[in-house]
A and B are shown apart, each in its own frame.
Chain A
Amino acid sequence: MRLGRVGTLLFKRILIMIPILFGVITITFFATRLAGGDPAYLIAGAFPTPEVIEAIQVQIGTDKPLMEQYWTFLSGAVKLDFGTSIFTGNPVQEDLGNRLPATLELIIFSLSFGLIVGVSGGVYAARRRGKSSDKAVSATSFGLLSLPDFWFGLILLFVFFFKLRWAPAPVGQLSANDPSPTDITGAAVIDSILTANAAALKASVGHVALPVITLGALLAAPVARLTRSSMLETLQSDYLQFGRACGLPQSRLRRYAIRAALPPVVTFAGILFSLLLGGAVLVEVIFSWGGAAQYAATAIIQNDYPAIQAFVLVAGAISVFIFLVVDLLYVMIDPRVRL
């Protein structure tokens, strides 16, 4: 019964995803095109001659009418063919595919860290409502909202790398002299686990810690605020009053309350994932992470048009996919939802 409900929903949501993904591709094409004009000028560099421009236009197909180019882009995107990177000379989808696992690893670790710290902080604050510890959690989280992530990362780097020497240098997922795992996914921690390489795991966890804390600590702030207000609403609800009146043990009441307070947080996690994709660009640059986000940052400096376009598209598509996952999770925790 339950599975049937989720199954139907999954089917419906996937059907809705098709026009949305189509929209994502369309907006990527027209937004990048409206902003940038003909990429041939961007590729040609600072002092182009008309012949050079024309040759590039023919090569990348911008001499054709706009709608025809849109069609080429659309059909390419459907086949996951985004053209050749001007800077690396490889197909963009290969470049992105090789680097995406490292970025996703960073994002998923940061999201987990942020959710664990944020939810526990929020639950703690809500249960001690009005006390000084509640005020401390609320004030800290409000203050953290004002910090830019790239600046926070630099400060952590100064404290934990330069001063305390606890963290390794910001040189990527592993330092040159670290034991490295066999390359399976390209994400060092995952690879170390897959190959059961304890030494590499230790080194890669050491490298991932600071970027994850940078992104995760700042994420924990809005999560804690949301959890707190959701939890407060739940704690005042009639059914918890009733449970209390029936004399249910504290621990069970707490479990019910947390579960009932979670749905808004789950929805928010989807938005956070999308926010993290952006944050990853900055944090990967600071820690020379070598993931897809840093690749995009380099592509932007190099005016690598196909790579920029593909990264925007992939980021949008990943977000759409995550929103789908979040919707499904929501249905699984909240049986009242029917769609």
Chain B
Amino acid sequence: MSTSSARFPKLGRRSTRSTPDSQRDDRHLFNPALIAGSLIIAGLVIGAYIIPAISPYGAEQPNVRDALQGPSFSHLFGTDQTGFDIFTRSFYAPRIDLSIAAAGVGLGALIGVIIGVAASYTRGLAGEIVLRIADVVQSFPVLILALALVALAGNKATNVIWALAFVNVPIFLRLIRSRVLTIREQRYIEAAIALGNSTPRLLRKHVLPNALGPVIVQLGISMGYAIILLAGLAFLGVGIQVPTPEWGSMILIGRSNITTGQWWTAVFPGLILAVAVFGFNLISEGVERAREVNR
């Protein structure tokens, strides 16, 4: 199969290094992309607790008399058709979006890494079967698979998390596998075996730390995509449901207003969502760049 493991493939770099990642210097770790991305995400997380606290409007408090007001000083992002304050809700949303995305991607990465290491370090039929299953799962369009899983399992946040984990497992599995296969042939692994390390210790102390770099890069990309994915599901009415202050469901509320001119109802939640995804993409790019400098 020619499916790529990452959402956007990078060209193969011919890497000939043999120094383990864990021993390389980290002077270039703090590059502008990484710092900017981290600041954006940190800002959104902190804002998600501060802004609803100081805002005069509740995130789930409708005010019908103030419905469909344009942006003004009292409602910075305007209000939607039930009088929800869009500013408060857009900044409350990271509590829901980021935690669901993080739980789903984290779970998927964890399962993917564990299965991936197990399937690639021990040569055998089981590993081969696992890989073929991952191949087949990856031939489904991600959104459609996630959509069907959540729709059938029921509209609960935990089901969204499981669906996100399910679509992410094959990505991390294949990623870690390609790394482990390279690392296994390195001299320091040979040395570690010669020194009498047991296999679990070898995996934990020598293979995993050196295999995790690309996983961190992929975590950023997967987080960004998971946010778009879960908002897309909510926009279709699947998963997180409408009054919840979540970006996708807010865009769904604003959808009917966009053709009648009340642009702010859908534009602002989507804008904050895009900023969050941008932040994760920046972090991923920054980590990638820091690793590249060290090559």
Contact = CB atoms under 8 A, between A and B. Distances in A.
Nearest to A330: B2
Contact of A151 (B142, B236, B266, B281): B266
A35 B149 contact: yes
Contacts of A190: none
Interface string A142-179: 11011111110011011001100000011000000000
Given A32-B148, A323-B1, A24 B140 contact: yes
B235 interface: yes
B10 A161 contact: no
A161 B259 CA distance: 7
Contacts of B10: 229
Nearest to A320: B139
Interface in B74-101: none
A311 interface: yes
Contacts of A149: 232
Interface stretch (B51-59, B129-137, B205-213): B129-137
A136 interface: no
B283 interface: no
Q: Looking at B135, B248, B273, B274, which has the most chain A CB atoms within 10 Å of its CB?
A: B274
B148 A312 contact: yes
A150 B251 contact: yes
Given A35-B149, A154-B258, A170-B259, A315 B140 contact: yes
A303 B155 CA distance: 12
A290 to B, nearest CB: 16
Nearest to B231: A148
Contacts of B133: 23, 27
Contacts of A319: 139-141
Interface in A275-291: 275, 277-279, 281-282, 285-286
A148 B273 contact: yes
B68 interface: no
A324 B34 CA distance: 38
A72 to B, nearest CB: 18
B267 interface: yes
Interface string A224-268: 011001100100000000000000000000000000000010011
B139 A20 contact: yes
Interface in A305-322: 305, 308-309, 311-312, 315-316, 319-320
B147 A300 contact: yes
Given A31-B145, A316-B139, A300 B238 contact: yes
Nearest to B276: A146
Contacts of B163: 35
Q: Looking at B251, B261, B270, which has the most chain A CB atoms within 10 Å of its CB?
A: B270
B116 to A, nearest CB: 19
A308 B153 CA distance: 13
A274 B153 contact: no
Nearest to A143: B278
A274 B138 CA distance: 10
Contact of B261 (A20, A162, A169): A162
B258 A162 contact: yes
B141 A277 contact: yes
Contacts of B236: 281-282, 285, 297, 300-301
Nearest to A261: B11
B136 A35 contact: no
Interface string B220-263: 00001000100110011110000000001001001100111101
Contact of B277 (A146, A282, A305): A146
Contacts of A279: 143
B9 interface: yes
A270 interface: yes
B224 A151 contact: no
A148 B4 contact: no
Given A24-B140, A150-B251, A162-B261, 4 more contacts: A32-B148, A147-B277, A274-B141, A281-B144
6 contacts: A146-B224, A147-B270, A155-B263, A277-B144, A278-B147, A315-B141
Interface of A: 20, 23-24, 26-27, 31-32, 35-36, 39, 42, 142-143, 145-151, 154-155, 157-158, 161-162, 169-170, 222, 225-226, 229-230, 233, 264, 267-268, 270-271, 274-275, 277-279, 281-282, 285-286, 296-297, 300-301, 303, 305, 308-309, 311-312, 315-316, 319-320, 323, 326-327, 330
Kindly list the 3 A-B residue pairs having the minimum CB-CB distance in the complex, ordered from nearest.
Answer: A278-B143, A36-B152, A151-B270
